[in-house]
């Protein structure tokens, strides 16, 4: 009797945020790889461990570092809690990025999910800012200088740059007001936004009738398939159980990982002694790598604005056909994706090496200002190269614009990943190119 009652209460609880039945296609693991659920589980882990850390952590430059040392050495499970918080945060960046890729490559961003794509982008932004604001809190050399490098870039934003820098740092450099500002943003402002917007994100998934169905199960006909049936299935018995399994496996993995690998803690921050090289956190290394090649105005403002606008408007472009639900749209789309990926793998490192050793963009045309030589001119070349690639691959494969836009998306994403890898592993002293794994 009690068991029945417990089950009833559990089900009622679940039905507050999930429907009683979901389409069978929502259960296919390799359609989503559980990445949205994995991201959500990581956020919950971060909240629990973050609150625990707050019992010991002191957000003042004089105390922050010592409170972390105390946490690690004298508090029961203190080191483990810090490790779980740190690794979950880093894995979250990866999981959210892969989730975004999954959504894009299964066409989950078309109508009626267009606005949810934009909400997702905002969530990704919040995840990055959470990570970034957390990075400063241990107040060691690593976090201090990584944050100093990034806040230094903010100054180049036109009109608002120095104002923004003042707000972030409380002055002109990283110091006592910065740690309090970062702490408040990290532990109060972002968590509230993150939870609220996550709820909105989930509500939109439900409003769209669950996740996008694989093409083979869609009721409308499609070029290779017509009229597969997407039956409904009971949420608790099938979906919730699967989600719980994925969450438990993830938590077990993070526990083991956190027991085996300690989070680094360097010496206490010394504002007078910059490490060499001084690097941004790994998820911003792609931007720091671009910074090494382009004019700062282009790196911190024009390129990010173009890139973010493209991501925001991606769902609103007029596509040739609606093929949401099919991985990579079609077989041809997959083939073109491979071509784009291979092109990025070859061309990006070559461009980095060429700029590093063979050309000095600064003195390309000495009479012209730096902003043209290292900004306008190379950006124009890149946009022209992307346009040529677009036209070439579209004609070569007689492709639809869905498939061609996807190929360009892959080209740019893989290039950005390669720039990040270059920055993290192939930059040594003075940020010069160096053979791998020199300094992290
Ligand atoms: C998406 C959510 C979050 C992310 C991505 C995140 C990320 C991080 C990162 C990367 C660090 C630095 C860890 C280190 O290297 O030591 C950190 C530290 C910290 N976080 Fe979070 N965090 C999140 C949520 C929270 C929440 C909700 C709280 C508390 C309410 C919190 C409290 C703290 C505290 C007190 C520290 C300093 C202790 C330390 O550095 O070990 N975090 N966070
Ligand atoms: C904290 C970060 C995020 C969390 C916790 C989260 C969570 C989820 C979950 C649980 C789903 C249901 C399907 C699934 O598991 O794949 C989902 C779907 C979706 N997410 Fe996210 N998400 C996050 C970030 C993002 C990002 C960065 C994007 C894209 C820019 C995005 C766009 C979408 C879209 C469009 C859907 C509907 C896709 C479909 O119907 O197949 N989300 N999200």
- Full DSSP string of 121-182: HHHHHHHHHHHHHHHHTT-BHHHHHHHHHHHHHHTTSTTTHHHHHHHHHSSSSSSHHHHHHH
- Segment 198-206 shows an average pLDDT of 95
Q: Is 57 in the pocket of ligand 1 (CB under 6 A)?
A: yes
> Do 106 and 212 meet the contact criterion of CB atoms below 8 Å apart?
yes
Helix (H) or strand (E) run with residue 22 in it: strand 21-23
Please check the confidence at residue 228 and state whether its pLDDT lies above 70: no
The residue whose CA has the least distance to atom 41 of ligand 1 is: 82
Residue 416 confidence (pLDDT): 97
CA–CA separation, 93 and 42 (whole Å): 10
CA–CA separation, 190 and 43 (whole Å): 12
Residue 223 confidence (pLDDT): 44
Pair of tokens at residue 167: 């707000």
Please check the confidence at residue 225 and state whether its pLDDT lies above 60: no
Residue 20 confidence (pLDDT): 84
> Do 290 and 304 meet the contact criterion of CB atoms below 8 Å apart?
no
Tell which atom from ligand 2 comes closest to the C-alpha of 34.
15
Please check the confidence at residue 151 and state whether its pLDDT lies above 80: yes
Helix (H) or strand (E) run with residue 233 in it: strand 232-234
Q: Is 50 in the pocket of ligand 1 (CB under 6 A)?
A: yes
Residue 349 confidence (pLDDT): 96
Residue 178 Cα to ligand 2 midpoint, Å, equals 32
Which among 216, 181, 213, 194 has a CA at the least distance from the CA of 96? 194
CA–CA separation, 348 and 290 (whole Å): 11
Tell which atom from ligand 2 comes closest to the C-alpha of 42.
5
CA–CA separation, 189 and 208 (whole Å): 29
- Segment 137-165 shows an average pLDDT of 91
Q: What is the pLDDT of residues 270-304, one digit of tens each?
A: 999 999 898 999 999 999 999 999 999 999 999 99
Q: For residues 434 and 199, which has the higher predicted lDDT (pLDDT)?
A: 199
CA–CA separation, 309 and 252 (whole Å): 38
Which among 79, 439, 92 has a CA at the least distance from the CA of 260? 79
Q: Is 92 in the pocket of ligand 1 (CB under 6 A)?
A: yes
Please check the confidence at residue 221 and state whether its pLDDT lies above 50: no
ω into residue 304 within 30 of 0, thus cis?
Answer: no
Residue 152 confidence (pLDDT): 86
Which of 23-27, 74-78, 261-265 shows the lowest mean pLDDT across its residues? 23-27
Query: What is 284-328 written as a DSSP string?
Result: GHHHHHHHHHS-HHIIIIIHHHHHHHHHHHGGGS--SS--TTSTT
Which among 289, 328, 281, 307 has a CA at the least distance from the CA of 417? 289
CA–CA separation, 292 and 423 (whole Å): 10
Please check the confidence at residue 329 and state whether its pLDDT lies above 70: yes
Q: For residues 136 and 174, which has the higher predicted lDDT (pLDDT)?
A: 136
Which of 35-39, 59-63, 132-136 shows the lowest mean pLDDT across its residues? 59-63
- Segment 137-164 shows an average pLDDT of 91
Q: Which long-range contacts (CB under 8 A, 24 or more apart) does 200-203 make?
A: 200/119, 201/116, 201/119, 201/120, 201/123, 202/17
Residue 89 neighbours by CB distance under 10 Å: 21
> 11-275 belongs to which homologous superfamily?
Cytochrome Bc1 Complex; Chain C (1.20.810.10)
CA–CA separation, 380 and 393 (whole Å): 20
What is the rounded (10 degree) CA torsion for 14, 18, 22, 28?
Answer: -80
Q: Which residue has the tokens 């625990």?
A: 52
CA–CA separation, 352 and 41 (whole Å): 38
Residue 50 Cα to ligand 1 midpoint, Å, equals 5
CA–CA separation, 208 and 354 (whole Å): 48
Where in the chain are all domains bearing CATH 1.20.810.10? 11-275
- Segment 144-168 shows an average pLDDT of 89
- CA torsion sign for 10, 15, 21, 23 is negative
CA–CA separation, 399 and 405 (whole Å): 10
Q: Which residues lie with the beta carbon below 6 Å from any ligand 2 atom?
A: 32, 35-37, 39-40, 43, 96, 99-100, 103, 108-109, 113, 116-117, 120-121, 123-124, 127, 198, 201, 205, 208, 211-212
């Amino acid at each position: 009797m009690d068991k029945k009652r417990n089950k009833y209460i559990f089900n009622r609880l679940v039905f507050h945020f999930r429907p009683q039945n979901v389409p069978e296609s929502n259960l296919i693991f390799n359609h989503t790889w559980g990445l949205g659920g994995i991201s959500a589980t990581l956020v919950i882990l971060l909240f629990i461990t973050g609150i625990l850390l707050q019992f010991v952590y002191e957000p003042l430059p004089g105390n922050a570092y010592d409170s972390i040392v105390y946490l690690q050495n004298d508090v029961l499970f203190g080191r483990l809690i810090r490790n779980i918080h740190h690794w979950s945060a880093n894995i979250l960046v990866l999981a959210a990025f892969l989730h975004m890729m999954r959504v894009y490559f299964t066409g989950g961003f078309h109508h009626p999910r267009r606005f949810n794509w934009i909400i997702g982008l905002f969530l990704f932004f919040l995840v990055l800012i959470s990570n970034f604001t957390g990075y400063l809190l241990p107040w060691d050399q690593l976090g201090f200088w990584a944050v100093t490098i990034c806040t230094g870039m903010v100054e180049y934003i036109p009109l608002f740059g120095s104002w923004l820098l003042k707000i972030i740092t409380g002055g002109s450099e990283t110091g006592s007001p910065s740690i309090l500002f970062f702490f408040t943003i990290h532990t109060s402002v972002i968590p509230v936004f993150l939870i609220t917007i996550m709820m909105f994100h989930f509500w939109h998934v439900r409003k769209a009738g669950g996740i996008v169905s694989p093409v083979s199960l869609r009721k409308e006909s499609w070029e290779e398939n017509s009229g597969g049936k997407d039956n409904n299935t009971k949420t608790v018995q099938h979906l919730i159980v699967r989600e719980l399994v994925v969450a438990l496996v993830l938590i077990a993995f993070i526990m083991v990982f956190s027991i085996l690998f300690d989070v680094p803690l360097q010496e206490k921050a010394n504002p007078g002694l910059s490490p060499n090289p001084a690097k941004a956190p790994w998820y911003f290394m792609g931007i720091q790598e671009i910074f090494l090649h382009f004019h700062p105005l282009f790196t911190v403002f024009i390129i990010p604005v173009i890139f973010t606008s493209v991501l925001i408007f991606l769902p609103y472009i007029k596509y040739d056909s609606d093929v949401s639900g099919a991985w990579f749209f079609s077989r041809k789309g997959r083939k073109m994706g491979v071509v784009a990926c291979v092109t990025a793998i070859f061309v990006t490192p070559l461009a980095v090496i060429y700029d590093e050793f063979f050309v000095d963009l600064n003195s390309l045309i000495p009479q012209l200002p730096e902003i043209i030589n290292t900004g306008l001119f190379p950006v124009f070349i890149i946009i022209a190269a992307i346009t040529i690639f677009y036209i070439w691959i579209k004609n070569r494969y007689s492709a639809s614009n869905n498939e061609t836009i996807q190929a360009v998306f892959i080209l740019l994403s893989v290039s950005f990943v390669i720039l990040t890898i270059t920055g993290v592993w192939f930059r040594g002293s003075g940020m010069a190119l160096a053979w791998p794994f020199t300094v992290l």
